[in-house]
Amino acid sequence: MADPQPPVAKLGESGLDKVTAGHGQAKASVEIMEPIPKALQLRLEFTSISGTVPKLFGQPTLLSRLRAGKVAAKEHQQASERQILFGITGSCNPGEVLALMGPSGSGKTSLLSVLGGRKPKAMRLSGVPHYNGAPLTKRAKRQVGFVLQDDLLYESLTGHETLYFAAMLRLPRAMTAAQKTERVLTVVTALGLDKCRDTIIGGFFRRGISGGERKRVSVGHELLINPSILLLDEPTSGLDSTTAMHLVATLRPLASVGRAVVTTIHQPSSRLYTQLDKLLLLSEGHAMYYGQASLAADWCSERFLTAHPDGYNHAGAVHEAGLGNQLWSAAQSRKQLSPGLPIQAAAPEPLSQHHQDWDQDQDRDRIASSPSASSSHDIELAVGEGLAAPPVGLGPDGRKVNRWGASYTQQLKFLFVRAVKTRRFETMSVQDIVQLLIVGLLCGLFWLQRGQSATVRGASDVTGLLFFQLVFLSFRSMFAALFTFRNEFKMMLKERASGMYRLSAFYFARTASDLPMELSLPTFYIVLMYFMSGLRLSAGAFFANWMAVMLVTLVAQSFGLLVGATVMQPKTAQTIVAVSMLAFMLVGGFYVSAIPVWISWLKYLSFVYFGYNLLIKIEFGGRTIYDCGGADVADPQQHPELCHPVPSLQQALHLQESPDAWPWEVLVLLGYLLFWRCMIYVALRRKTSGV
């Protein structure tokens, strides 16, 4: 006889209607998520989890280095280790809600990150959490949902767009696009996000949805994959009591259909506390209590009465009416079992073996009697024997589940569209449009039709225009790209840890999005400046000028992305880019043409040098320029007595390359572009290694 199908979790079954009744809304019984098949249920176990982190000190100053020497400076940088977790043991079964509680700094977030396979690289760990008896693998991470304390969401996307792109990238390939869209609508309705589905997430400088809605979007981001285990870090942080109760009450129906839920909670209300099954109470990295949440008060009282047999105040104040039958009996039994023992103050210590044994003995009875287990035969467990399930990462039929939800081409497609949407406000902003139009208009007015002059004096002015055109866009693009990956790095780590996409797909899609987003506005600037200044009026020269400037702009952007991907300190990154760009300008060939031999090799490291020479060849290649003795004559050919053609424009304008030479600089710039783009990928790969 086949096992009965477990019921679908509904918000109406969790008592959530009573919570929201005060708002005058009758919430319908909405299906929040389908049940977890028994073959995909996971039991989380962790035994003797201990962790240490380096105790970092400030970086030594240059003065301290000179005074103390290299050895002392090196010793100053060496960090001693500090233990933050001490032998934590526990478990969470399907159908349970385990809460990690304790004061700030007790190790809740550190332990949760270890359980979710997201421990910091600097942490040295002993003890490994197991899922169905096996360590967590990258493929198995797709069955684990992890909600961070800080809501890492793209501010420019709406709530629906955020969940849509997550569904298209994370849900299995076997699902059609219509099924994935239907899953998004289900999550939006179940979490009460209908009213804000088309509102942007927003941030500090741009208003969007409320804090509670942001948190529910973060939870929905993980619920899309229907995870077997859901981990939440401080989901009620920053929320009012009603919103917090609304959110935590949702965890009960999520767990009731075969899902294990582990959450950290700080200062829960009494109503919120009743939604919990298990409690792991932490203090300074030590486990103070582990077991049923409803028995935590009794257990802590017994520990106190063991150390203080005379009661809470004094012997005269301790009586059965004041303590209650259970606590009074416990106190009397403690005094009878340990008469005359010295009184010791209770101190944080690892999990008591007595209580651990008690918890294992009571697991089956508690789960069988809980509402989540009594409604489903599939959630019955044999504690101590584990689940009769295949290893994590396998489907119900025992076959391997593909680690990536979307194919590589689909990842490129959706990541490209998302990258364009996330940058729609910043790239096409009014400020950028006004900036480029004003600078282009000023350039056109300052060099008004100077490009039509055929004299050496006019050509000298045009070289200044070409150099400014190149440097202005390079500076703008480089500094704008400097903070690109720094702003997206945490989001990238979060999504990569969830197995959302390949790093190469993210990088190629992000690079491809640069073309329409970074080249559109500079094009208007080039058109305005080019024709107002009267540069070479031919279609070939115009498009060659545009392509050359765009190529140099992409090279400059690549350098900014490379520095931003390798240096995470903003001031350090800005200093590196500013000094490098100034060096590139000085050796570019406009300010100084006769650079000393011993330092002239620096020009071959400057993309400004190659870009400037390329623009000179495009503008003056094949043209005849006249020397009119320093005068600026409108038509030099009409004044042969004053003007004569210059035999070498390179010598006349003090150029480093002949304008009539073959434009080999294009190949060098393309080489720089490819090299720096590859180095960016290598830097990102190193930064995200182990995720």
- Read off the pLDDT of residues 572-587 as tens digits, 9 standing for 90 and up: 888 998 998 888 888 8
DSSP state of 218: H
Task: Note the pLDDT tens digit of each residue in 232-253.
Answer: 888 877 677 777 777 777 777 7
Pairing between β-strand 644-645 and β-strand 626-627 as defined by DSSP bridges: antiparallel
DSSP state of 569: -
Domain spans of the chain?
Answer: 9-57+76-296+369-379, 408-687
Average pLDDT, stretch 522-530?
90
Mean pLDDT is lowest, of 68-72, 132-136, 638-642, 648-652, for 68-72
Band of residue 674 on the pLDDT scale cut at 50, 70, 90: very high
More confident residue, 425 or 621: 621
- For residue 441 the two structure tokens come to 């208009």
Band of residue 685 on the pLDDT scale cut at 50, 70, 90: confident
d(C-alpha 228, C-alpha 247), whole Å: 19
Band of residue 547 on the pLDDT scale cut at 50, 70, 90: very high
Task: Note the pLDDT tens digit of each residue in 13-35.
Answer: 333 333 333 333 333 334 556 77
Band of residue 611 on the pLDDT scale cut at 50, 70, 90: very high
Band of residue 515 on the pLDDT scale cut at 50, 70, 90: confident
Write down the pTM of the prediction. 0.71
SS3 279: strand
- The pLDDT value given to residue 327: 57
Q: Domain 9-57+76-296+369-379 has what CATH class? A: alpha beta
Q: How many CB atoms lie within 10 A of CB 606?
A: 20
Average model confidence (pLDDT) across the chain: 75
- The pLDDT value given to residue 304: 66
- For residue 252 the two structure tokens come to 């009960």
Contact 524, 594 (CB under 8 A): no
Residue 671 has pLDDT above 90, yes or no: yes
Residue from 503, 500, 493, 504 nearest 144 by CA: 500
Average pLDDT, stretch 271-281?
83
Average pLDDT, stretch 38-54?
86
- The pLDDT value given to residue 415: 92
Sheet arrangement for strand 286-292: 144-147, 229-233, 260-265, 97-101, 278-283, 286-292
- The pLDDT value given to residue 545: 93
Task: Note the pLDDT tens digit of each residue in 158-170.
Answer: 888 989 998 898 8
Average pLDDT, stretch 419-436?
81
- The pLDDT value given to residue 317: 53
Residue 80 has pLDDT above 90, yes or no: no
Task: Note the pLDDT tens digit of each residue in 184-229.
Answer: 888 888 777 888 888 888 877 778 888 778 888 888 888 888 888 8
pLDDT above 90 as % of the chain:
10
Distances in whole angstroms, Cα of residue 403 to Cα of each of 498, 509, 512: 10, 20, 25
- The pLDDT value given to residue 673: 92
Band of residue 527 on the pLDDT scale cut at 50, 70, 90: very high
